[in-house]
Chain A
C-alpha cells in the first residue's frame, strides 16, 4: 500500500491558478474514478473538496476543479485566495478494497 505521489509544496499569488498532481498506479488511480481531494488548514480536520475525480460537494467554490489522466489525478485551484492556503491530500480507492492517500502538498499563497 504505497502512498500516492504528490509534490511537497506549490505556491502562487492571489488570483493565479495552481495545479497539484497525484500519481498512483494501475491498481488505484488508474483503475477507478474513486479519486478524492481534501483540504486541511493547520490544526483542523480534513475537508472533502473533490470526489469521483471531478465532482464538488455542495458549498465548495467552483474555483476548485479535478481531473484525471491515466494514473495521475490533478487538482486545480483558480483565482487563488489567501484562505486557500492549506495542505491538500489526494486519495484513491484501490484494487485491494482499501484506500490510499497521497503524501500531501502544502499550498502557499504568496
Chain B
C-alpha cells in the first residue's frame, strides 16, 4: 500500500544540524511532488517546503528559508530535509507528505518524526 515513513528526528542543540529522511513505497515516487509539513507541540500545521518530481523546483516557508534544504533521490524513493542553524522554535513533529497530482493538496502523509531543539 501507499506509505511514507519518516526517520532522523532527535534531540539537537540550538545551532546544530539534523537530516530527516522519508522513505516512500507503494507508488511511483518520481511522478510526484513531495512536501514537508511540521507541527510544534500543541500547535497547528505549518507548511515547510516542497520539491518538484525532478527536483527542478523547490520552495520554502520564510521561517526556514536559508537554513533548511529539501532534496530527493528518485532512485532510492527517498525525500530528505537538511536542517541547519536549528532554533528552539524548530521543535516539532515533521511530516513528509505526497503532493496531489494537480498540486491541490497533500494526499498521503507519513506518521512523522520528532525534532527537539534544546540545550
Contacts and interface: CB of A to CB of B under 8 A. Distances in A.
Interface of A: 1, 3, 33-34, 36, 38, 40, 44-48, 51-52, 57, 87, 89, 91, 93, 96-104
A87 B103 CA distance: 23
Interface residues of B, number: 25
Contacts of A102: 44
Contacts, number: 70
Given A52-B102, A93-B103, A99-B35, A3 B44 contact: yes
Nearest to B58: A97
Interface of B: 35, 37, 44-47, 50, 57, 59-62, 95, 100, 102-112
Nearest to A105: B44
A104 B42 CA distance: 11
B45 A36 contact: no
Top 5 closest pairs, chain A to chain B, by CB: A36-B105, A51-B105, A104-B44, A99-B47, A34-B104
A48 to B, nearest CB: 5
Nearest to A102: B44
B109 A98 contact: no
Contacts of B103: 34, 93
28 contacts: A1-B61, A34-B102, A34-B105, A36-B104, A36-B105, A36-B106, A38-B45, A40-B45, A44-B111, A45-B95, A45-B109, A45-B110, A46-B106, A46-B109, A47-B109, A48-B105, A48-B106, A51-B104, A51-B105, A89-B45, A91-B105, A91-B106, A93-B103, A99-B35, A99-B50, A103-B44, A104-B44, A104-B45
